[in-house]
Each structure stands twice: as C-alpha cells, then as structure tokens.
Amino acid sequence: MTLQIALIAHDKKKSDLIEFAQEHQETLSRADIMATGTTGKRLMEATDLEVDRKESGPLGGDLQIGGKVADGTCDGIIFLRDPLRAQPHEPDISALLRICDVHDVPLATNLASAEHFISGMFS
C-alpha cells in the first residue's frame, strides 16, 4: 500500500518546505503526495514529484485534505506553519490538528518534526 502524504505551508514557510522536499525527494517519491494549490505548484516546479493539487488554502484546500484524513485516505501531513506571522488568508491549522488527533494521523508542524515524520513513516 502506498502512503498518502499531504504537504502544506504558510507563505513564509513555502521555501522551507520546497527545500525539505528536494532533500527528501527520493523518499517522498515512494508516496502519493497531495498539497494545497500554490504549495503543490511550487513543489512540482522545484522537484520531480507528482503532486495531487487541491484548492489553494483560502479556497478550502486544507479542508479537502482534512476530508482525506477523515475518510482514511491520508496517512500523514507535514504542515510547515508560521507561528508568528500567519496571514488571515492562509490555511488554519486548528481544524487539521483536530481531525488528525481524532483519527490518530501524524501531523508535523516544523522542520524538526518533519524529519521525524519522514524517518518514522518510511522506515
């Protein structure tokens, strides 16, 4: 069974997520990747990963991913968030945290936890 992984980032963290995906491209290529709109576009431009792009965050892409968690088709999320400067138009992590906790799905919110996520999910 192929893992289904979601990648999301606030605007100020998109570059960090792109760099992370480039560093872990070989590992991430073994999973089915989904992402919110702009993040997914940037991932596809910067890597050879195939990405199932959902709507952009302001248009509900984070909610689409939350629905995948709820229906059991998302195995984990890396959501690099900006805890100090998140903008009102950016995805809200609270709903994703809740649905991941309800369904016992891992959610990494920073680069350190994303490294552990990769190690744990692909070992």
- Is residue 39 marked as binding? yes
113 assigned binding-site residue: no
- Residues 90, 61 contacting (CB under 8 angstroms): no
Helix or strand or coil: residue 79? strand
Which one from 16, 32, 52, 62 is the annotated catalytic residue? 62
Give the C-alpha separation, 74 to 5, whole Å. Answer: 6
Does 62 qualify as catalytic in the annotation? yes
Count of residues making up the chain:
123
Tell whether residue 56 is among the known ligand binding residues: yes
The annotation status of 41 as a binding-site residue, yes or no, is: no
How far is 26 from 49, CA to CA, in rounded Å? 9
The answer to whether 61 is a known ligand-binding residue is no
Query: Active-site residue numbers?
Result: 62
Q: Residues annotated as binding site for substrate? A: 10, 14, 36-39, 56-57, 89
Q: Residues annotated as binding site? A: 10, 14, 36-39, 56-57, 89
